[in-house]
Structure 1
Amino acid sequence: MKNIRFLDANEIVYGEVEKLSPHTVKITGEISPNISGFRLELDSGAVYGKYDGFTTLFKEIEGGFILSDDGSIYVEPEPMPEPEPVPEQTLEEVQEAKVAEMNDAQQKMIQEGINVTLTNGTIEHFTLTDHDQTSLVGLQAQVLAGEENIPWHTSDETEHCKFYSNADMELITAAAMAYVTWHVTYFRDLRIYIRSLADKATIESIRYGVEIPDKYKSDVLKAMEVA
């Protein structure tokens, strides 16, 4: 316990004094708040701590109080606002979000492309980006025109373009068109299936490639599956 003498009092009171910051000091003990400033004294009466400028009641606390020497007082912080509740998605919103997700998956699958076994038995991979698909339409026309030595390239960016025979280019374009047609057809049926569902959890669990119930399959998709 420290000997505390407030500047407006003659008697010493006893308590604990703790400097909280350059401008605040805490006093605890059976002491009433006093804003006259104070000093700390030894039993001999010698002063060893001067707090004359601490004349503002910063805050009352349990078992004591805090004084400041710059006029500052404690201000309760603004309560944190409750977060706005996130509105639950409607069934239609869940359906359309899943449709958009599946469309992205379809585009990614198409653009990653296909492996094609050529007439000599080698397997080469071809990407099917939008640009590739447009180019393949032109290549298909060259095949139909009976041209030989048709220039094209694999997905390997370290390889140069090269010439393909008419037979090989026919294999490449046919496989590419069938692959794109499959995914476009599958996605359209999947979209119809998703929009038929009324359970959000079921919709959210759907992944691209899931088996579509027969009642939602088009005749085209059924024929492709048989083929």
Structure 2
Amino acid sequence: MENILFLDSKETKKAKVERLSDHTIQIMIEGEANTSGFHLVTDEGILYGKYEEFTTLYKEIEGGFILSDDGSVYEEPEPLPEPEIKPYEPTLEELREAKVAEMNGAQQQAVQAGVNVTLTDGIVEHFTLTEHDQTSLMGLQSQVLAGEESIPWHNSDEMEHCKFYSNADMGLITSAAMAYVTWHVTYFRDLRIYIRSLQDKEEVEAVTYGMDIPAAYQSEPLKAMLAARQS
């Protein structure tokens, strides 16, 4: 610590004085900044440093201040501009595969939502087609082929109990379910081939599930099913 004597005071104080550059000096001392200039003296009062030109407050800091002898003051540097982050632009291939995944999800959702079936008495019931439902219906189909009557099953209404369906009704249910699943599986496979053939990003983004697939990308089974729907 040095003995510092500010020129507007007759009392020396203890301070830590450090030259930072040719024109700035840092003074760590209690109290407010003093810009009257200063001397450094020994404990006996002998002068050994004159800093009478350091009369400009360059910067206040925690625990002290910095003075300059050339009138300069600290200026906050201009903040660096944040780099412009451009949003990632997916490639055509990435867009196509993302669309395929989206359409696959739509296909599965459509299948699991199920199908309406008109039974022999003219009543329409709805049947969900989750993976579990599909597996169970395949087993029930074997019972139909075996000629069994009173086959237990349930429709999609969770408020209804399971009930017995006649052989004829269960045949209608299993046939409609398998046809519905086959339609969506066939349609999706052709749609996937069509998507992967596209060479324009906007065309890929415009694809929706259920759209008409161009004839050039329709399989023979899909063409047959479309013709049957129109007849």
Task: State whether TM-score is above 0.5.
Answer: yes
Instruction: Write the letter of the residue equivalent to 2:31.
Output: D
Alpha-carbon offset, residue 52 of structure 1: 1.9
CA distance in 1, matches of 2:201, 2:110: 25
What's the CA shift string for 1:183-208, capped at 9, x where partnerless?
01100111111111100111011110
2:129 corresponds in structure 1 to 128
What's the Cα RMSD here?
A: 3.4
Alpha-carbon offset, residue 70 of structure 1: 2.9
What's the CA shift string for 1:94-123, capped at 9, x where partnerless?
111111110110000000001111111111
Gaps of 5+ in 1: 1-6, 12-32, 38-50, 56-63
Is the alpha carbon distance of 1:83 and 1:149 closer, same or farther for their aligned partners in structure 2, counting shifts above 3 Å? farther
Say which is worse superposed, 150-159 or 76-85, in terms of deviation.
Answer: 76-85
- SS in structure 2 of the partner of residue 104 of structure 1: helix
CA distance in 1, matches of 2:175, 2:90: 43
Contact between 1:35 and 1:67, CA under 8 Å: does it hold in 2?
A: no
CA distance in 2, matches of 1:176, 1:77: 69
Instruction: Write the letter of the residue equivalent to 2:96.
Output: Q
- SS in structure 1 of the partner of residue 172 of structure 2: helix
Alpha-carbon offset, residue 69 of structure 1: 4.3
Contact between 1:8 and 1:36, CA under 8 Å: does it hold in 2?
A: no
Instruction: Provide the TM-score with structure 1 as the length reference.
Output: 0.69
- SS in structure 2 of the partner of residue 163 of structure 1: strand
Is the alpha carbon distance of 1:76 and 1:158 closer, same or farther for their aligned partners in structure 2, counting shifts above 3 Å? farther
1:8 to 2, 6, 9: 6
1:88 corresponds in structure 2 to 89
Gaps of 5+ in 2: 10-23, 35-56, 67-73
2:169 corresponds in structure 1 to 168
Contact between 2:27 and 2:64, CA under 8 Å: does it hold in 1?
A: no
Asked if 1:52 corresponds to 2:31, the answer is: yes
- SS in structure 1 of the partner of residue 6 of structure 2: coil
CA distance in 1, matches of 2:65, 2:197: 65
Is the alpha carbon distance of 1:9 and 1:104 closer, same or farther for their aligned partners in structure 2, counting shifts above 3 Å? same
CA distance in 1, matches of 2:130, 2:65: 67
Asked if 1:211 corresponds to 2:212, the answer is: yes
Instruction: Provide the TM-score with structure 2 as the length reference.
Output: 0.68
CA distance in 1, matches of 2:188, 2:214: 13
CA distance in 2, matches of 1:195, 1:36: 72
Alpha-carbon offset, residue 219 of structure 1: 1.2
CA distance in 2, matches of 1:195, 1:135: 34
Identity of aligned residues (%): 60
Asked if 1:70 corresponds to 2:63, the answer is: yes
CA distance in 1, matches of 2:65, 2:227: 83
Contact between 1:189 and 1:217, CA under 8 Å: does it hold in 2?
A: yes
Alpha-carbon offset, residue 149 of structure 1: 0.6
Contact between 2:195 and 2:204, CA under 8 Å: does it hold in 1?
A: yes
Is the alpha carbon distance of 1:10 and 1:96 closer, same or farther for their aligned partners in structure 2, counting shifts above 3 Å? same
1:185 corresponds in structure 2 to 186
1:224 corresponds in structure 2 to 225
Size of the alignment, in residue pairs? 183
CA distance in 1, matches of 2:195, 2:62: 69
Is the alpha carbon distance of 1:68 and 1:101 closer, same or farther for their aligned partners in structure 2, counting shifts above 3 Å? same
Is the alpha carbon distance of 1:72 and 1:36 closer, same or farther for their aligned partners in structure 2, counting shifts above 3 Å? closer
